[in-house]
Structure 1
Amino acid sequence: MNDSLIFATEGFGLNLNLFETNILNLAVVVFGLYKFLPNFLGSMLERRRSAILQDLKDAEDRLEDAAISLNQAKKDLASAEQKAGKIRNDCKERAEAIRLESEKRTVEEMARIKQGAASDLNLEAARVSGQLRREAARLAIEKALSSLSNSLDDKAQDKFLRQSIKNIGDI
């Protein structure tokens, strides 16, 4: 039996042999971890912490920029909607003005055409009336001359012609 086991009872005991238990190796490893690990892990963790904090700050800055851009876009959209509404109203007013102007010109053109037609009708009526008067006068003169030539002798016709020529000269 091994005398370095103290209180060895059935399967469990304390081994105090330093070379057998590797306590020295463990002590060196624990000391190395205690001495070098905080610097190594600490610097790695600090770099990682700094990178995470910088990423968070960048994300917050981008979020703030995005919020500002969103507010500006909302303002621009509201302004564009307002301008679009104004343009729409202006277009409606302009279309109504054009329609009214077109109707006014159409009415004026129709009145001018009607007046021209009435004027043409009056001119044609006056021309026909004048032509009818001339034709009636010619027929009346022919009838009068034919009835005069049958009812008047040569002496009376001569006297009538002289008197008519004299009347025409007095006019």
Structure 2
Amino acid sequence: MVQLDFITSLVQDMKGPFFHTFSLGAIELGNGFGINTNILETNIINLSVVITVVIYAVGGALQELLENRKKVIFDSFNKAEEQFAKAQEALAEAQQAFNEAESKVQEIKTQGTTKIQQLKVALVEQTAQDADRLETSKETTLRLEQDRIKNALRRNLVVKAMTGASTKLEKALQDQGKQARVLETVIPTLSTAISDS
């Protein structure tokens, strides 16, 4: 045993009320590390009694607490599984709705393309028909205008011819008798010519 008197002297050298009333005395140190096999000194019996009492008294409560915790964990797990299943259903429904919407969009695109093609064909046909009608109308208008001009020219020619013939007849025929005979033969001829034009 080694005595540590220097600690005592150190403590005595310190000033203060605590250090004057307290004295360490001699401290003995062991010879090294070892296992104490004395059951009474190590309190193994006391510890085993305390542990047994704690396990007996607290064990039921601890087991109940663990069971409650286990139940809470299982309930949480079941709720999570239910929510996951609901989320999977919602995802499947959303996917189906998306697929239906995509199909509808594709159908609308196809219908739109078909409708555009039909409208394009109808517009081309309508334009061709309008062009034909305009061409026919133009030809008819030209023909009518030509006929009108021809008729006007014929009338003018007839009027000029009659005026010229009438003037020539008046000069050539001084005699009224001659004039009457000539007029009787010329007027029916002129009337026929006018009605033919």
TM-score range for the pair, normalised by the shorter chain length:
0.7 to 0.9
Match of 1:46 among 35, 42, 67: 67
For residue 6 of structure 1, what is the aligned residue in structure 2?
none
For residue 142 of structure 1, what is the aligned residue in structure 2?
163
For residue 158 of structure 1, what is the aligned residue in structure 2?
180
Deviations 1:82-135 (A, max 9, x none): 221111111111111112112222221222222222211111111111000010
Corresponding position: 1:132 with 2:149: no
Letter of the 2:179 counterpart: Q
Deviations 1:134-166 (A, max 9, x none): 101111111112222222231311222344567
Compute the RMSD of aligned alpha carbons: 2.8
Match of 1:111 among 108, 132, 146: 132
C-alpha displacement at 1:33, in angstroms?
Answer: 0.6
Gaps of 5+ in 2: 1-29, 192-197
Change (3 A) 1:165 1:26: closer
Q: Give the secondary structure class of the aligned counterpart of 2:85.
A: helix
Match of 1:30 among 30, 39, 51: 51
C-alpha displacement at 1:26, in angstroms?
Answer: 3.9
Counterpart-to-counterpart distance in 1, 2:53 and 2:170: 168
Letter of the 2:172 counterpart: S
Match of 1:60 among 81, 84, 103: 81
Counterpart-to-counterpart distance in 1, 2:129 and 2:48: 116
Q: Give the secondary structure class of the aligned counterpart of 1:153.
A: coil
Match of 2:98 among 77, 85, 93: 77
C-alpha displacement at 1:24, in angstroms?
Answer: 7.4
Gaps of 5+ in 1: 1-8
Letter of the 1:97 counterpart: Q
Counterpart-to-counterpart distance in 2, 1:152 and 1:37: 165
Look at both structures and tell me which one has the larger radius of gyration over its CA atoms. Answer: 2
Counterpart-to-counterpart distance in 1, 2:106 and 2:37: 93
Identity level (%)? 27
> What is the TM-score when the length of structure 1 is the normalising length?
0.77
Counterpart-to-counterpart distance in 2, 1:165 and 1:143: 14
